């Protein structure tokens, strides 16, 4: 038995059998075998989630040997790919056909299926989370059947399954609605949080992508704006990338270690701020969105209705002050357009996302639990892949189609072969 861990190393588990199939037929055989043995299977993409979604002590599948594009429909701008394809590879291969995704998150190490299945999102009030780009999927259900579904033939099923945590089956292929490749001008600069908050409403509307990183110890913000441009690309040079790696990751990691040992958060936060200046570059979108994140951290992220933005932010600020929580890690604030995907945290509401982080060795629980109370009071919905402690009792009322989803899930997987013990608590039959 092998020890498996996720990216943040907060999950440890020992699957009995690990599979790296090369075809859908192989996956069908694995499912039939597990059905006979009455054993469950879980799948991972890149293990970049914090919640117990991928844990398994029975079967465990990854699709690292099924990668890349399968076909491109230039006229409809639809790209079909193996669902385990990592976003980085997908971005480059689609770019070879002058196509790209309209929006992405801030790293590109995830797999397509993993990112889509948890509602992974970027920022931009007029742009939806990535799963909204799904046109169709191939899904291997709990009986081992391959279902080919798409938005035209099966709109209800697709709204149910596009964000479904791998709980109803394994996605082997995915077709995505793409857009013509475009360049982004990325600008970032530090600002006092009071001013950043005052400017936020305007910036949300005036920029294609707008986000803020709020540093609670020194009450300052790193503002990031990204807008489409036809200007020449001026990508970050290798030297610049290297210095970013040192400053944003290695030095930042060193400062975190120092801060958590010495408790001199205020002084070290002031030092961090001194390293942050005005930065700007232009690159093709699939290269501009992702940043390097080598420092491991814990994260909780909640979706709230966008009109709660200021009220919730001020409550978080007061909560941190009152409890004297200290971490150098910022709170990331992003904006996403609402959608119709039943289990999407942005279901039927334009949203603001607050992401709370700590360095891995810090005690995140008291901090996350206090802030979570604020989110819960305001009908917050947690990011499926990030730490939270809500159970079905709290989650079901947040999702009007929860019971409809459970019914579909049961029909697709009557023996619960795709459920681990955590998912059984979320979707008991
Ligand atoms: C450094 C870092 C940065 C991040 N940045 C962002 C961000 O900017 N925005 C954001 O929204 N999130 C972000 N996340 C969260 C991340 O995008 C999600 O947790 C995502 O699900 C991880 O993708 P993965 O491929 O690693 O999937 P995993 O974590 O491996 O799996 C996620 C879920 O998908 C299921 N799954 C995987 N493969 C399949 C398949 N083939 N068929 C069906 N189900 C499958 C798994 O079983 C699991 O339930 C970040 C995470 C990290 C660690």
In the chain, the domains with their CATH numbers are 4-62 (3.30.43.10), 69-180 (3.30.465.10), 183-382 (3.40.462.10)
Residue 247 has pLDDT above 70, yes or no: no
Conformation bin of residue 166: beta by default, left when phi > 0, alpha when psi is -120 to 50: left
pLDDT score for 47:
98
pLDDT score for 239:
57
Q: Which residues line ligand 1 (CB under 6 A)?
A: 7, 42-49, 53-54, 63, 83-84, 105-107, 110-111, 113-115, 117-118, 120-121, 165-166, 170-171, 293, 383, 385
- The CA distance from 265 to 253, in Å, is 13
Report the range of poorest mean pLDDT among 35-44, 219-228, 290-299, 306-315. Answer: 290-299
- Work out whether strand 170-177 and strand 179-180 pair parallel, antiparallel, or are unpaired: unpaired
Ligand 1 atom 8, closest CA: 105
Atom of ligand 1 lying closest to residue 129 CA: 11
Q: Cα of 120 to ligand 1 centre, how many Å?
A: 7
* pLDDT tens digits, 376-399: 999 999 999 999 999 999 999 999
Atom of ligand 1 lying closest to residue 119 CA: 11
Residue 203 has pLDDT above 80, yes or no: yes
For 241, residues 6+ apart whose C-beta sits below 8 A from its C-beta are 292
Averaged pLDDT, 192-207: 97
pLDDT score for 242:
56
Atom of ligand 1 lying closest to residue 293 CA: 1
Q: Cα of 383 to ligand 1 centre, how many Å?
A: 10
Which of 110, 299, 419 is the best mutation target for the ligand 1 pocket, counting ligand atoms within 8 Å of the beta carbon and taking the most?
Answer: 110
Q: Where are the alpha helices (DSSP H) in 282-363?
A: 285-288, 309-323
pLDDT score for 246:
53
Averaged pLDDT, 232-250: 68
Atom of ligand 1 lying closest to residue 47 CA: 30
Percent of the chain exceeding pLDDT 90 equals 86
Mean of pLDDT over the chain:
95
For 196, residues 6+ apart whose C-beta sits below 8 A from its C-beta are 212, 214, 221, 223
Averaged pLDDT, 76-97: 98
pLDDT score for 294:
80
Task: Kindly tell me the burial class for residue 376, based on how many C-beta atoms sit within 10 Å of its own C-beta (0-12, 13-18, 19 or more).
Answer: middle
pLDDT score for 261:
84
Which of 385, 419, 421, 426 is the best mutation target for the ligand 1 pocket, counting ligand atoms within 8 Å of the beta carbon and taking the most?
Answer: 385
pLDDT score for 124:
98
The encoded tokens of residue 375 equal 């989110």
DSSP 396: G
Which of 106, 115, 288 is the best mutation target for the ligand 1 pocket, counting ligand atoms within 8 Å of the beta carbon and taking the most?
Answer: 115
- The CA distance from 233 to 239, in Å, is 17
237 — pLDDT class (breaks 50, 70, 90): low
Q: Which residue has the tokens 């930065």?
A: 279
Residue 344 has pLDDT above 60, yes or no: yes
pLDDT score for 69:
98
* pLDDT tens digits, 28-81: 999 999 999 999 999 999 999 999 999 999 999 999 999 999 999 999 999 999
pLDDT score for 255:
80
pLDDT score for 39:
98
pLDDT score for 29:
98
Task: Kindly tell me the burial class for residue 206, based on how many C-beta atoms sit within 10 Å of its own C-beta (0-12, 13-18, 19 or more).
Answer: exposed
238 — pLDDT class (breaks 50, 70, 90): low
- The CA distance from 208 to 203, in Å, is 9
Angle between helices 309-323 and 193-206 (to 10 degrees): 150
Atom of ligand 1 lying closest to residue 83 CA: 41
Q: Cα of 266 to ligand 1 centre, how many Å?
A: 33
DSSP 48: -
Residue 87 has pLDDT above 90, yes or no: yes
362 — pLDDT class (breaks 50, 70, 90): confident
Residue 415 has pLDDT above 80, yes or no: yes
pLDDT score for 243:
57
Residue 240 has pLDDT above 70, yes or no: no
Averaged pLDDT, 93-109: 97
Strands (E), 318-389: 331-336, 351-359, 381-382
* pLDDT tens digits, 253-285: 778 788 888 888 888 888 888 878 888 999 999
């Amino acid at each position: 038995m092998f020890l498996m861990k996720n990216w943040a190393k907060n999950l440890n588990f020992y699957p009995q059998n690990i599979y790296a199939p090369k075809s859908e037929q192989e996956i069908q055989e694995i499912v039939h075998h597990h059905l006979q043995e009455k054993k469950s299977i879980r799948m991972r993409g890149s293990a970049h989630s914090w919640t117990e979604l991928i844990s398994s002590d029975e079967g465990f599948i990854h699709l690292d040997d099924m990668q890349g594009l399968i076909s491109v429909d230039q006229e409809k701008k639809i790209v079909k790919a193996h669902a385990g394809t990592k976003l980085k590879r997908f971005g480059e291969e689609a770019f070879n056909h002058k196509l790209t995704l309209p929006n992405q998150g801030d790293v590109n190490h995830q797999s397509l299926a993993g990112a889509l299945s948890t509602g992974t999102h970027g920022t931009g009030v007029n742009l939806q989370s990535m799963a909204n780009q799904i046109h169709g999927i191939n899904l291997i259900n709990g009986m081992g059947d391959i279902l080919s579904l798409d938005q035209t033939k099966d709109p209800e099923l697709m709204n149910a399954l596009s964000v479904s945590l791998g709980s109803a089956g394994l996605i082997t292929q995915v077709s995505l609605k793409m857009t013509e490749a475009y360049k982004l001008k990325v600008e970032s600069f530090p600002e006092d949080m009071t001013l950043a908050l005052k400017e936020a409403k305007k910036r949300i509307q005036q920029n294609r992508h707008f986000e803020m990183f709020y540093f609670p110890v020194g009450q300052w913000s790193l503002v990031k704006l990204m807008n489409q441009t036809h200007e020449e690309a001026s990508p970050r040079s290798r030297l610049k990338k290297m210095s970013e790696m040192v400053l944003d990751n290695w030095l930042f990691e060193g400062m975190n270690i120092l801060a958590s040992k010495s408790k001199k958060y205020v002084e070290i936060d002031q030092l961090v701020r001194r390293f942050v200046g005005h930065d700007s570059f232009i690159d093709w979108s699939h290269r501009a969105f992702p940043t390097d994140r080598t420092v491991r951290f814990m994260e909780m992220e909640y979706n709230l209705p966008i009109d709660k933005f200021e009220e919730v932010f001020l409550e978080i600020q007061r909560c941190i002050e009152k409890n004297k929580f200290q971490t150098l890690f910022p709170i990331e604030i992003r904006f996403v357009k609402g959608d119709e995907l039943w289990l999407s945290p942005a279901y039927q509401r334009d949203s603001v996302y607050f992401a709370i982080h700590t360095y891995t060795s810090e005690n995140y629980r008291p901090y996350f639990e206090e802030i979570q109370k604020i989110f819960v009071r305001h009908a917050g919905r947690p990011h499926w892949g990030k730490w939270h402690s809500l159970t079905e009792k709290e989650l079901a009322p947040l999702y009007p189609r929860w019971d409809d989803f459970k019914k579909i899930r049961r029909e697709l997987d009557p023996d619960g072969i795709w459920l681990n013990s955590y998912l059984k608590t979320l979707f008991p039959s």
